[in-house]
A and B are shown apart, each in its own frame.
Chain A
Amino acid sequence: MSALNANLTSPAVLLAVGASRLSGLGTILAVHELHAHTTAFQCNQLMNERSIDEASAYEIAFSIASLVINNTSWLAVGAPGAPTTVPRAADGGNAGAVFLLYPGTDTARTHIGYGTIELAPAAIMPFNLAPNDRFGSSIAVLGADVLPRLLVGATGRGTRGEGEIIALQLSTVDTVDNVTHFNASDPLLSPFLPSGAQLGASVASVGSIGVTSAPDSLSVAACGVPRGGRGVQSGNAMGIVLLLQLRRSTVSLAGVLAIGDGMGGFPSGLLLPGDRFGAAVATAGDVDGDGLADLAIGAPGSTRGGMDGSGAVFIAFLSVDPSSLPGVSGSSMGIGVGI
């Protein structure tokens, strides 16, 4: 497969940054833009078959994650607007896709070369996508194996549009097996997923916090549900973040801790309907210096200072809680959360 290094729309651009507030901070050396319509994306055979020039609102880069395969940095790029078929059927939009961009051979580093592999056709993934699934709404990488496991959000899946997180184990760089679906059919998750909850709007790997004594070497993933909440009938848009305790070997769900207004250590009264708490989640690194990674949570609909929808970011300080905060259904996550 060809690399994209000769097909970027813009060459390296040197930019001067003069703002005084940048003192002590990195500055931007150059900017590249990768456009979907260029021959760059089409140089890959898969993409030629897919023909991204077909008139479709792919929404490429709705989500992005970096990953390492065979000691090389790749990008996983979500395109939740991708159609189910080409050309797009009348009702075939927004099934979604994830593109794996692999580095090219340009050693001059004045350009970045990328080829593409698309995770969407049934030939690659052992399940079908449907219109409006919006697969690729979010992406995270779980584990550091030679071929990593991807967690991909699909906010439109589910009989009531509750959304879903799909764990995909790559068996080769362009083949998927061992698929696991996390959705409202699981009794640990269903209490938090009203109609239109948008599970899968965001996802991040948090590591093994609080689970070191578990027998199956559990890992924790943070999943944002920006229109979810406990005990609500339909998406109230206040939002919630679910920490999913996953058994590493089978990627099955062992426990859930909900973080939201007045839940899971998060204070009451900071969130309101419309805040979309959990629209974004990310590991923030160890901000408080306690040796454990902390969690950044976005609430882009928040109103602060009278400015509607200006947005907010919360840093949730995670800790190993000796008292073991109770999860649902009797599970114990052993994770403390402070803001």
Chain B
Amino acid sequence: MELSATGGSLSSHLMLRPGDAFGSALAGGGDWSGDGVPDIAVGAPGRRAVSGVGSGAAYLFVLAGVVPQGRADATLPLGGLVAAAAGGLSDGDNLGESVALIGDVDGDGVGDVVVGAPTDDDGGSSRGAIWIMFMKAAEDGAGACGA
């Protein structure tokens, strides 16, 4: 099973671009959709806007299993939301160089995600930063992360 610009029906959810470096980091085992098929988080630290400016990105993919053919059914982008937060990302931070599932940190019953931006320059060149993404269940009650 391949997830890429041409594999796994990924292009219907996410249009990869040259230099995205999609697949630089991976974390699996969570099941945010609650369908019994584990989902995965994928880092793309080279992700840039069409303008060429960007800070990287990470995504959660809901996998639909392998029958009849493995595919990604939905995508949740994480990077754009980080950029919107206070003290957010800047060009070249490489968010998505690392990603890990950290269990239910905030106690809401849904597994959370941590994403690294190792070349974040706040406070000094390439000091690095850690972003913790607090996930919550979708309004339709879709299942909690199993991580």
Contact = CB atoms under 8 A, between A and B. Distances in A.
Contacts of B101: 66
A55 B43 contact: no
A280 B42 CA distance: 9
A282 B24 contact: no
Interface in B63-93: 63, 65-66, 70, 74-78, 81-82, 84-88
Contact of B127 (A28, A37, A75): A37
Contact of B97 (A9, A61, A297, A311): A61
A311 B16 contact: yes
Interface string B75-117: 1111001101111100000000111111101111010001111
A213 to B, nearest CB: 25
Nearest to B13: A21
Interface-centre pick from B7, B23, B135 (highest chain A CB count, 10 A): B23
B118 A22 contact: no
B123 A31 contact: no
Contacts of A30: 106, 134
A309 B20 contact: yes
A125 interface: no
A304 B19 CA distance: 11
B64 to A, nearest CB: 10
A249 interface: no
22 contacts: A21-B74, A23-B140, A24-B33, A24-B138, A26-B135, A33-B82, A35-B123, A53-B124, A57-B124, A62-B97, A64-B99, A285-B28, A285-B29, A287-B1, A289-B65, A296-B28, A296-B40, A307-B20, A308-B19, A312-B3, A313-B23, A315-B3
B4 A23 contact: no
Contact of B128 (A53, A59, A109): A59
A156 interface: no
Contacts of B103: 66, 73
B62 A35 contact: no
Interface string B14-54: 00111111111111111111001110101110100000000
Contacts of A10: 85-87
Interface residues of A, number: 81
A198 interface: no
Interface-centre pick from A27, A300, A302, A309 (highest chain B CB count, 10 A): A300
A325 B16 CA distance: 35
Contacts of B20: 300, 307, 309-311
Given A24-B142, A38-B123, A311-B23, A280 B133 contact: no
A285 B105 CA distance: 21
Contacts of B127: 35-37, 52, 57-58, 60
The 4 closest A-B pairs by CB, nearest first: A37-B123, A285-B38, A61-B116, A298-B23
